[in-house]
Structure 1
Amino acid sequence: MSNLDPSYTIGHQLIEPLRRTHGLAKAAARQRAREVLLRVGLSDPDRVMRSYPHQVSGGMAQRVLIAGAIAGRPSLLVADEPTTALDVTVQAEVLELLRELQAEYGMALLIVTHNFGVVADICDRVIVMRGGDIVESGAVDDLFAAPTQEYTRELIAASLDEAEGRAALDGRRTEVDDLVVEYGRGRHAFRALHGVSLDIAPGECLGLVGESGSGKSTLGKAILGLAPVTAGRIRFDGRDIGRLGGRARRALADDVQVVFQDPYGSLNPALTIGDILAEPLLTTGIGAKAAEKRVRDMLDRVRLPSASMDRYPSEFSGGQRQRIAIARALVRGPRLIVCDEPVSALDLTTQATILDLFIELQRDTGVAYLFVSHDLGVVRRVCHRVAVMYRGEIVEIGDGEQVTRAPRHPYAERLRLASPVADPVAQRERRAQWLALREVPDAAVR
């Protein structure tokens, strides 16, 4: 999204480069833009060209960028993390599109990624870099079968393909009953959630997976009071919290908190880390000295030095910033944290350490997590149970190991097959299965 200018329509952003760089007349540039939008799988190019970036999904925005990149018919396409933060279904579609375009245009493709499943899925050769140096390179099958460098082995191991699930827990504190969320009113209303029901036990991590637009984040926002509850109930400790407002909603912040997806956009760049972590405490009336002690304790808990208090977010890496965001969520001692794609923007090794931190903090504090993610390996590693959402409904829920490795519902199986594994041989077989299932009509998947 950040690569598209929010001030201009998508059509303008595709047409102007064709006119200025390639010298096409406006009508010819418009026709070329329509053609490439159709080629990247956008069936209504005229509507897309009239739209602004905020009016399309993340997957559509990525297709628009690919369309702009191929509009000049390049001989080399550099794809810099082209699937990062996309759900597994959209990721699989984007990789398939790149593969088709590469064959059609005869162009070379250089993919920069931290996802070894993506490498196994689409690459012929792979180069492993560390600290600005190439540490290993070779044909993709050979490198995965017998990596020579320890760093390469660590990266492949961090893919979470073989991660084991966590045993389910008993007891229920948070219950969602027949929840309906609608945006807008009357005949123009859009129903984002259709009678969703689930529960979360104290100290449990419940994973929530599904493609973009399935309703995962909407459910999390409803629990946080950030999305309207049209019907149904959200009960926390027996109290309905779905329609709280004002002081009652603010008081709930002691018990329910959130960790956002983007570690770069979720921290105020104008405040020091100490101020960011102390602010939620000071609003409760706690004294400055007690707040400072609590902040130091939280920084120690997420393994950051107390000297971090005097520094600003820009002075930290993505993984360190997410540790700070986790500390902020925990600082008031909540009993439930909504984790909205909290590791999707991180590289594999950083991702693994943050997941271990989530598990350790849960064991130490007994906090419950609603863990929203599109990565089945991630939810299998950190979650006790997993719920699969499709078009605003939960289509399968159960033990994390079972749902992520042997799902019963056809849509959940489609998600599993869309998630690439860090093994070129196994991935070729998985991709063939996904391509076959992709042709099954949505009505049959429901």
Structure 2
Amino acid sequence: MKTAVLFSISALSAYVVAAQAPLDAQCGGSGWTGETSCEAGSSCVAVDAWYSHCVRAVAVRQEEEQGGDAEEKKDKKKDKKKEVDAGQDSGSGSGDEETGGDAGNDAGGDAGGDAGGDAGGDAGGEEAGGDTGNDAGGDTASTLQTVVTSAAPAASSNPDSGSDSGNDSGNDTATPTDAESPSASASLSPGTPNLSGAPPSATSALPVNPGGSGTVNGNIPAPAGTELASAPIKVSGGLDGGMKLYDRDTVVCAGQAEGGEADAIFVLDDGATLSNVIIGPNQGEGVHCLGTCTLENVWFQAVCEDAITLKQSAGTSRIVGGGAFDASDKIIQFNGFGTVEVTDFYAENYGKLVRSCGNCKGNGGARNTVIGGVRAVAGGALCGINTNLGDTCSVVDSCQSEGKSCELFEGNNDGGEPAKIGEGPDGSSCTVSGLTTC
């Protein structure tokens, strides 16, 4: 009799274990009729309305000791603002990303905006009030998790120039702080860049565009797993995410409301590489690069304030492959100096692909944007540049469904609204070759 009872208990125990979904298995979603509880050490997390699966949260190292256990965070559910305003370009506007977000669609098809239909205004200084005043080479988040520590290069000075907005057809509005300004000369005399990323001193040819493979599409890979973090993940050296979905464990995205490094999911040290990663919608600031960086096959499911912020003082950052969706403002915010190369990248429903800061207090150096093999649909300009500061944009062998190739501004370093002075290729600051309709 005792043996029979033990056998029954053992069988029941096996049934209970089998009734729990294993790590990475589906545990919920619309129409799901299988198991909804997860094995010990994991929990059921929704990826979208149709699919939830069992994941193990990333353990986060607290850099700031508080002498006791940190208070458990309460999940805050904030609906992500995804306004898409369509407006005719009027040559002026009220976009104001530096003081709270750029207003919506450029008159040429800049998709969406947060403060209501920027008929033009470009808002310089995305991080005015942004990176919690800790930019000159430092991290703003008080809790950063270092996931890769191999061969960390020496950090460059990180000009967080208080980023500039992207959706505009006319003017920028900005209130950047001194702590968020690049350290280059404040001279506003025109110049052209050299490829080392130093401030301009003489006229020179536009940088050579590397072109692209021509095989870009908007198919986001299926996640190989999910990693959740309660604070930005610090990367030194390199991180290959193996096509896992990385996101914050609570929603920090607040639309076009100003944020900073503390709202990012990754913070990359100077020279770091991030590859094979899918970034979810909970984060607010995507990826922050403190110096030059390389992003390879990095996908953004839904851009919040912006996807990528560049703070390098010189040199070249490279974004190769990957793509981004639903950026009501810009995808790449270029606050530093030097060059960014964007190759074989996919953009859909966006305001601008790349925007050079138009009114950062450290303005005076050139920023070069080099675009090749890009496919951009349902969006605005591929680049917004400040011609009087020596900025350049080169577009080669890419396609657009609508919008503009370049928007030209007169930048400043006093936080004022940069005036829009033109659009399209001018043969010097903006050159275009092989741009077709998608």
Please give the range of the TM-score, normalised by the shorter of the 2 chains: under 0.3
Could you tell me the TM-score, scaled by structure 2's length? 0.23
Calculate the TM-score normalised by the size of structure 1: 0.23
Q: Which has the higher strand share?
A: 2
Greater RCO, 1 or 2 (C-alpha within 8 Å, sep 6+): 1
